[in-house]
Amino acid sequence: LGQLVIDIEAGMSVSAAMAKFPRVFPPLYLNVIKVSETTGQLDQGFLQLADYIERDFENRKQIKAALRYPMIFLVTMVLAFVILNIFVIPAFEGIFAKLGNDLPLPTKILIGTSWFFVTFWPLLLGLSVIGIGILKFWVKTETGGLWADRAKLRMPIFGKIVRQSMLARFARTLSMTLHAGVPMLQSLSVVSGALDNKFVEGKVAEMRDKISNGESLVRAAYASGMFTPLVMQMLAVGDETGKIDDMLMQVSDYYERETQYALDAVGASIEPIMVAVMGSMVLMVALGIFLPMWEMSSGSM
């Protein structure tokens, strides 16, 4: 900010001064501010950016909050599984050895799994670290990043939420840039770089190419296959009335509401599923440990 003050006092425009710091001010900000300077509405440009940042932050926070509980649960399950197999089950093997080979099936499964983990845990740990490293490196490549971003949109439960949130961000960003006066093709180029999803960025780039070849926004959006029939009707009305930016903002509001409904539905349904999974794991361990003890007790009596 201090450097911005120096550059502006030296006669540089605000957008040109901001362009010197691309890691702080992405192209989306620069295009909105540049057009706002040209039209003499710099204050409105900053207000639009502020509203965009706040709403985008809220959407991201809601999605992270919805994903946090399942991730914590999954990590806890893995840790509990490892601790049981490495420390708990081996402590009972001496007791189970007294029964010889006549052990219940759940107990045999527990002992076999525990032996495998105790024997091969260094190999499993090494393979896990190498596998994670290779996956991270591959995701950074063009092909890997495209595959990972497409997989995010196709996840069983959360894929729909991520897809709706991504489309809400697309519509809101495109509406803001068009409202600020940025041309359609330039707006689509800016939007494609602000989505953080290579698969959706590719779809937006295809839309831009079709529009540059003479097709309308509605036809290009329909060909992308990303939008619902309701949204397509809203885009058609906006195209006919010349208020495409207003309709895109309504599309954004629509997808944000749908995202919130989906988050609420996931929050209500995922907890009993997790409880059932945890209960099944506890039941398996309990049967494996206590069944042979009950047999020993019955035999001694």
The 10s digit of each residue's pLDDT in 137-156 is 888 888 887 888 888 888 77
- Residue ranges, the chain, pLDDT below 50: 300-301
Cβ atoms within 10 Å of 4's Cβ, excluding its own: 16
Q: Do 117 and 85 contact (CB within 8 A), yes or no?
A: yes
State the Cα–Cα distance between residues 57 and 55, nearest whole angstrom. 5
Label residues 257-276 b or e (16+ Cβ within 10 Å = b): ebbeebbeebeeebeeeeee
Angle at 51 between CA 47 and CA 56, to 5 degrees: 150
Closest by CA position to 39, among listed 181, 246, 242? 181
For residue 100, the one-letter residue type is G
The 10s digit of each residue's pLDDT in 63-83 is 777 777 778 888 888 888 778
pTM across the whole model = 0.67
State the Cα–Cα distance between residues 193 and 200, nearest whole angstrom. 10
CA distances from 212 to 122, 202, 206, 216, 292 (A): 56, 15, 10, 9, 73
State the Cα–Cα distance between residues 221 and 230, nearest whole angstrom. 12
